[in-house]
Structure 1
Amino acid sequence: MALLERRCSERERTDDTETLSCTIEAAQTLHSYTEYIIRIQRGPDPKECWQIVKRYSDFDTLNTILQVSGVAPTLPPKRLIGKLDREFVSQRQRGLQAYLDTLLAQPCLACCENVRRFLDPTSYPDSYTELALQQVSMFFRSEPRWEVLEPLKDIGWRIRKRFFLLRPKDQPKARLLLSWAEVGPDSYLSQKDLQAALKLLPNISHPHLQPIVLAEAGEKSALLVQPFNETGALRDLLCKSRPGEPYLRSCRRKGPGLPLSQLQSFGCQILEALNFLHECGFPYGHLHSGNVLVQGKTCRLTGLENSILGLPPLYRAELASHRRLAAMEVGDVFAFGLLLFELAYGRPPDTIPVETFEPSIPPLVASVLQSILSADAVRSCLPTVPMLLDSPLFHGVPLPRSEKPHLKMTSRLKESLRGLQESTEQRLRRDNREKSRQSLNEDPESPLANGATDSTLSSPTTTPSTPTPTGSAPPPPPPLLSPSPTAIATNDSGPARGALLSSIRNFQKGILRSAAVDNPDCDTEGI
């Protein structure tokens, strides 16, 4: 186990889901143009920062690319005369800062490859498609039965994952989807276990999991072949887009949510697939509307390889912000709540957690959303997948007839996948602690901001002793087994002590709020 942990630490990679923050620190005028010096920070660690220098024309080029999304922020206007004036440069700097703040506040744009490359050109070179094509070509030298037709550019949100249209040479009209991806920052499995886990994928059979034709592992990457779905994913259905269109087009939501009957059917099918994976001990963690393929009245989950490769989930920033969401099964339930919100409203929520739900959705849907996405839910306890299946919204929903599910793995592989899940959850918890510490540092009223250290905060607090009156000492407290108020001796030692004893007598145990700790028996009356 230690060897695998050391190997994982040696292959740390940039997490593409880590939030970026930008500050334009200065502007400098050179000849006929102005350069803006921007400081970028990745995540909560102030040591993870660097500087870039950009001109207004660089911002304009990026903004032109983002226009296809329909949600790009407004860029400060161009100016030909007086553009080097000091007051105008200062005004433009404030406008560009507002542009960056708005850009990074939208998750759909913040994880976009063009935005990431604009802010971090060192970590995101413009060569992933060529690298993927080289790897795929090397593989197909030993697999002559396949033929690569064309690359499918800008599909999906992942920067380090590339897709190609494929066909078997003996079936010219058939179309398959080939995906290639590098291992991610949560990579844990040894090369042998990685190959065994990928070989398992084509043997998984479930009516609501996308079948996989081929899965092969390279040294630091993997490729998969699966049927190409002409209908697309739930994201395409909600955005009224076609499969294969650029991911940025899905940022613009055109229509309302799904009808209640369709929402119930798709939701129940997704829960059945999640329940199957959880029962088999297979870590998933990558549920979102782009990973649910639709074919008629049936939907199927895809992206099973992502967790095996150690790729971070789309909602990792939200999971790392809440301590209770670190467990992978709990994260699946949270992601299901976000997906259910999309199905109900036709768009993702504006803020997480969600405090209020518009009355336009049925009460049954609002009740389930409340039990998953509310602030109280993410702070205490989320329902489990079996609880959701038994809720009034999904209980008894008829499902399409299908074949019997099948997933069989060796005990060694199951143990390796368990270690992978634990490693992924540990990094989430570590990031959550770092974010909490950073929040305390930024809070002027917190002990850390006033010079206290973590060891000071973690040391046990000492309760100040009550001043003892001059005279006979008060009698010792009664045993815990005899909590009767009459057993507590009162003492005329002062009004403060009398008030304390009075508050103890009047204490009501029922006002205490129990803390739920990942317990499947937690209260879920809101479902």
Structure 2
Amino acid sequence: MAFMEKPPAGKVLLDDTVPLTAQIEASQSLHSHTIVRRYSDFDLLNNSLQISTLSLPLPPKKLIGNMEREFIAERQKGLQAYLDVITTHHILSNCELVKKFLDPNSYSVNYTEIALQHVSMFFRSEPKWEVVEPLKDIGWRIRKKYFLMKIKNQPKERLMLSWADLGPDKYLSDKDLQYAVKLLSSCSHPYIYKITFATANESSVLVIRPFSEKGTLKDLIYKAKPKDPFLKKYCNPKKIQGLELQQIKTYGRQILEVLKFLHEKGFPYGHLHSANVMLDGDTCKLLDLENSLLGLPSFYRSYFSQFRKINTLEGVDVHCFGHLLYEMTYGRPPDTIPVDSFPPAPSVFVVSVLESILTCEAMKNGMPTVSRLLQMPRKNLFIPTKLKEALKTSKECTEKRLTEEQKLIHQHRRLTRAQSHHGSEEEKKKRKILARKKSKRSAYESGEEHSAKYSNSNNSGNYSEKSLLLHSYVNVFVVAVVFWLKRSRVTISLHINIGLPKPSTTAMGI
């Protein structure tokens, strides 16, 4: 009864020493002796993987002795589903527990004991070092072990020792390997983590570095403690949150700068991932440069080995940088590769870089160079001539509308200020006083005009009326005079010409 008919899409086919063909054969030849025994093995594996805090779909236990065909078929189906989940999880599929479960013959050696033997032999010739404690399972590699160290005359300073076996891609001679490993300790670059001591023999390499309590870039992203086991730290993060945009820009550029430096020196890295980037303040520094010398496989080998266009170590570095950039941006690795669509990101430039590396089109066309990635934030957009003209017209129209809106806003502000000014109580009082003054002035001017009109009408009035009045006075005077003369018996012939009609004798009574 085979629980796995074929290896799951490149997963579990990653080991430090076992050739790929042997891993495929081991995956295809998995068989169970009895359903009870196989389920018990599954149960032990599942208990060991609980440290990851993942909820794994292991079928529930049943009563012993249930060997009905339907039950066995259902149990086999459930266990196969359980295997599919484990083997398609990138971290679980590479851990020692799963590999021993799937292929116990190839993983029967206790690598921790072997590492201790090599480290003990090293201390015989270097007595100034002392082991503080083993750092159990803090890494993902099966044949790489870590120890917390100190120098005897400097007990407060903490160092980390790593021991690793040789890998399947080790092609340097032993002499060249020893020389290259020792050369790493003399490397001085602002974005490469310092190596205190390094040595190699015919079967392994030992490297000592300063130990950082703050941990790696992956620890920062996942809010993890550096000394915790790899499965516990990174399998099921409690809080998924990417870094700030400025951190993404700073760390991304620093990593690209050091990759460019290594490529120019003819030293492709091949092992870039967030757990291999140490943080020193606001500076990123690469770890484990010795891995490529040892011939160890990359953490993302099961991904890029599926794409034939990623066939150089420089291309591998760029592809790994895409994974790292995605993790910095979104706080988690991509669900699948290639990536069809990207969630909203803090910057369009970040998405453009990711699209150039992780999309299906990028996998078909090949990876961009590191130099091109360094230029992308400044030159990452090609615009055809026709589109440029259309964009220019659109720009001019937009600017014109903006200008018109600015004028309207300015007018509105002036009107608002005027209304606010004229609506104040002080201004209202001023207007009332001014109105009263205007009213009085208008009344006075109106009175003067009326008087002038009246005076003019009196002066230039009916002249005949005045003449008649004067004529009446004269007639009365004349009558009086005549009366007086008549009484005096004086006859006077009187003719008065004053420009008026001569009074009749009848009127005078003569």
Band of TM-score, shorter chain: 0.5 to 0.7
Q: Does 1:271 align with 2:260?
A: no
Q: Does 1:333 align with 2:318?
A: yes
User: Match for 1:106 among 64, 89, 98?
Assistant: 89
Q: Does 1:71 align with 2:54?
A: yes
User: Match for 2:304 among 319, 336, 339?
Assistant: 319
Which residue in 2 is equivalent to 1:166?
149
What SS does the aligned partner of 2:214 have?
A: coil
Q: Does 1:252 align with 2:236?
A: yes
User: Closer, same or farther in 2 for the Cα pair 1:44/1:216, shift >3 Å?
Assistant: closer
User: Closer, same or farther in 2 for the Cα pair 1:190/1:81, shift >3 Å?
Assistant: closer
What SS does the aligned partner of 1:76 have?
A: coil
Q: Which has the higher helix share?
A: 2
Q: Is the 8 A contact 1:18 1:42 kept in 2?
A: no
What SS does the aligned partner of 1:206 have?
A: coil
- The aligned amino acid for 1:180 is W
- 1-structure distance, mates of 2:283, 2:30: 49
Which residue in 1 is equivalent to 2:269?
284
What SS does the aligned partner of 1:194 have?
A: helix
Which residue in 2 is equivalent to 1:227?
210
What SS does the aligned partner of 2:160 have?
A: strand
Look at both structures and tell me which one has the larger radius of gyration over its CA atoms. 2
Q: How far apart are 1:101 and its partner, in Å?
A: 1.1
- 2-structure distance, mates of 1:303, 1:331: 16
Q: Is the 8 A contact 1:239 1:252 kept in 2?
A: no
Q: Does 1:19 align with 2:4?
A: no
Stretches of structure 1 that go unaligned for 5 or more consecutive residues are 1-16, 22-40, 396-527
Which residue in 2 is equivalent to 1:177?
160
- TM-score normalised according to structure 2 size: 0.68
What SS does the aligned partner of 1:245 have?
A: coil
Question: How many pairs does the alignment contain?
Answer: 360
User: Match for 1:386 among 371, 394, 399?
Assistant: 371
Q: How far apart are 1:298 and its partner, in Å?
A: 1.2
- 1-structure distance, mates of 2:41, 2:190: 48
Q: Is the 8 A contact 1:42 1:49 kept in 2?
A: no
User: Match for 1:296 among 281, 285, 293?
Assistant: 281
Q: Is the 8 A contact 2:52 2:236 kept in 1?
A: yes
- 2-structure distance, mates of 1:394, 1:343: 22
Q: Is the 8 A contact 1:66 1:72 kept in 2?
A: no
- 2-structure distance, mates of 1:393, 1:109: 39
Q: Does 1:368 align with 2:353?
A: yes
- 2-structure distance, mates of 1:240, 1:394: 34
What SS does the aligned partner of 1:90 have?
A: helix
Q: How far apart are 1:134 and its partner, in Å?
A: 0.4
**After the TM superposition, which residues 28-67 of structure 1 pair with which residues of structure 2 at under 5 Å, given as runs?**
49-53=28-32, 54-67=37-50
User: Match for 1:305 among 290, 314, 323?
Assistant: 290
User: Match for 2:98 among 104, 115, 132?
Assistant: 115
- 2-structure distance, mates of 1:20, 1:139: 33
User: Closer, same or farther in 2 for the Cα pair 1:115/1:46, shift >3 Å?
Assistant: closer
Q: How far apart are 1:46 and its partner, in Å?
A: 5.4
Q: How far apart are 1:85 and its partner, in Å?
A: 3.2
What SS does the aligned partner of 2:314 have?
A: helix
Which residue in 2 is equivalent to 1:344?
329
User: Closer, same or farther in 2 for the Cα pair 1:18/1:142, shift >3 Å?
Assistant: farther
Which residue in 2 is equivalent to 1:483?
none
User: Match for 2:226 among 236, 240, 243?
Assistant: 243
Q: Considering Cα pairs closer than 8 Å and 6+ residues apart, tell me whether 1 or 2 has the greater RCO.
A: 1
User: Closer, same or farther in 2 for the Cα pair 1:151/1:70, shift >3 Å?
Assistant: same
- 2-structure distance, mates of 1:190, 1:128: 24
What SS does the aligned partner of 1:185 have?
A: coil
Which residue in 2 is equivalent to 1:92?
75
Which residue in 2 is equivalent to 1:187?
170
- 2-structure distance, mates of 1:381, 1:101: 30
Q: Does 1:133 align with 2:112?
A: no
User: Closer, same or farther in 2 for the Cα pair 1:141/1:294, shift >3 Å?
Assistant: same
- The aligned amino acid for 2:42 is F
- The aligned amino acid for 1:90 is A
- The aligned amino acid for 1:323 is R
User: Match for 1:146 among 115, 126, 129?
Assistant: 129
- 1-structure distance, mates of 2:54, 2:313: 31
- 1-structure distance, mates of 2:379, 2:68: 63
Which residue in 2 is equivalent to 1:426?
none
- 1-structure distance, mates of 2:198, 2:47: 38
Which residue in 1 is equivalent to 2:503?
none
User: Match for 1:155 among 138, 142, 145?
Assistant: 138
**After the TM superposition, which residues 375-524 of structure 1 pair with which residues of structure 2 at under 5 Å, given as runs?**
375-392=360-377
User: Closer, same or farther in 2 for the Cα pair 1:313/1:61, shift >3 Å?
Assistant: same
Q: Does 1:213 align with 2:205?
A: no
Q: Is the 8 A contact 1:267 1:394 kept in 2?
A: no
- 2-structure distance, mates of 1:230, 1:116: 30
Q: Which has the higher strand share?
A: 1
Deviations 1:152-211 (A, max 9, x none): 111111111000111001101111000000000101111111111111100101111011
What SS does the aligned partner of 1:91 have?
A: helix
- The aligned amino acid for 2:348 is P
Q: Is the 8 A contact 1:72 1:103 kept in 2?
A: no
Deviations 1:308-355 (A, max 9, x none): 000010111222211111100111011101100000110000110111
Deviations 1:29-82 (A, max 9, x none): xxxxxxxxxxxx968965874345352111111111212223352100012366
- The aligned amino acid for 2:284 is C
User: Closer, same or farther in 2 for the Cα pair 1:339/1:114, shift >3 Å?
Assistant: same
- The aligned amino acid for 2:66 is K
- 2-structure distance, mates of 1:169, 1:69: 36
What SS does the aligned partner of 1:141 have?
A: helix
- 2-structure distance, mates of 1:386, 1:116: 38
- 2-structure distance, mates of 1:352, 1:332: 16
What SS does the aligned partner of 2:148 have?
A: strand
- The aligned amino acid for 2:11 is T
- The aligned amino acid for 1:144 is P
